[in-house]
């Protein structure tokens, strides 16, 4: 019984083996939220970049039909990392699950209005190309266009949608 309990605890602790190393990284908004090593997103864009950390994990399996990425809301010092991940992973949808006015928990990481200036980080230029509002004032879809310094855009058949 004790051995079984020990093995279970050892296995659970190994899921987060890099978490202690990562705890000193200033890119983490909420230190109590762990980043599972086996499914952690590693940023590889741009290829000459040496900082591969973003607090994000791939999520799949169980009753889920599609794989998705779960990440902490970008803070002022991680906006560039967030958009590097989006450029690399090419998600069709980005869901924001916290209130947009909570500036202590989330920076303004996309242009709020279509007439706003682009956000320019790490050689990427993020543009708001339109907003579709629903009846529910909490729910809206912002259409995002991302270009790199060469004017290239991620092409996968659909644009980026920030929900």
Please give the Cα distance from 44 to 66 (Å, whole number): 22
Domains of the chain: 2-162 (3.90.190.10)
The pLDDT value given to residue 18: 54
Indicate whether this model's pTM tops 0.85: no
The pLDDT value given to residue 3: 44
**Contacts for 51 with CB less than 8 Å, ≥ 6 apart:** 43, 81
- Tell me if 156 sits within 8 A of 92, measured CB to CB: yes
Please give the Cα distance from 121 to 51 (Å, whole number): 14
pLDDT in tens, the chain (163 residues): 444 444 444 444 445 455 544 554 555 555 667 788 888 999 998 876 667 888 899 988 778 777 888 888 898 999 999 999 999 998 888 887 776 666 677 888 999 999 999 999 999 999 999 998 878 777 788 899 999 999 888 765 556 777 6
Structure tokens at 38: 């086996």
**Per-residue b/e over 3-40, b at no fewer than 16 CB within 10 Å?**
eeeeeeeeeeeeeeeebeebeeeebbbeeeebbeeebb
Per DSSP, helices labelled H in 15-162 are 19-22, 79-89
The pLDDT value given to residue 45: 86
Q: Which residues pair with 53 in a beta bridge?
A: 42
């Amino acid at each position: 019984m004790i051995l079984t309990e020990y093995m279970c605890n050892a296995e659970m602790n190994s899921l987060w083996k890099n978490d202690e190393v990562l705890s000193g990284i200033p890119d983490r908004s909420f230190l109590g939220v762990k980043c599972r090593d086996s499914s952690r997103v590693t940023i590889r864009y741009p290829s000459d970049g040496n900082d591969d950390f973003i607090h994000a994990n791939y999520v799949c399996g169980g009753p889920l039909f599609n794989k998705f990425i779960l990440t902490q809301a970008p803070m002022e010092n991680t906006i560039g990392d967030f958009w590097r991940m989006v450029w690399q992973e090419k998600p069709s949808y980005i869901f924001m699950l916290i209130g947009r006015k909570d500036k202590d928990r989330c920076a303004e990481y996309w242009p709020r209005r279509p007439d706003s200036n682009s956000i320019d980080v790490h050689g990427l230029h993020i543009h708001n190309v339109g907003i579709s509002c629903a009846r529910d004032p909490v729910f809206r879809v912002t259409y995002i266009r991302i270009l790199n310094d060469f004017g290239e855009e991620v092409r996968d058949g659909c644009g980026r949608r920030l929900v």
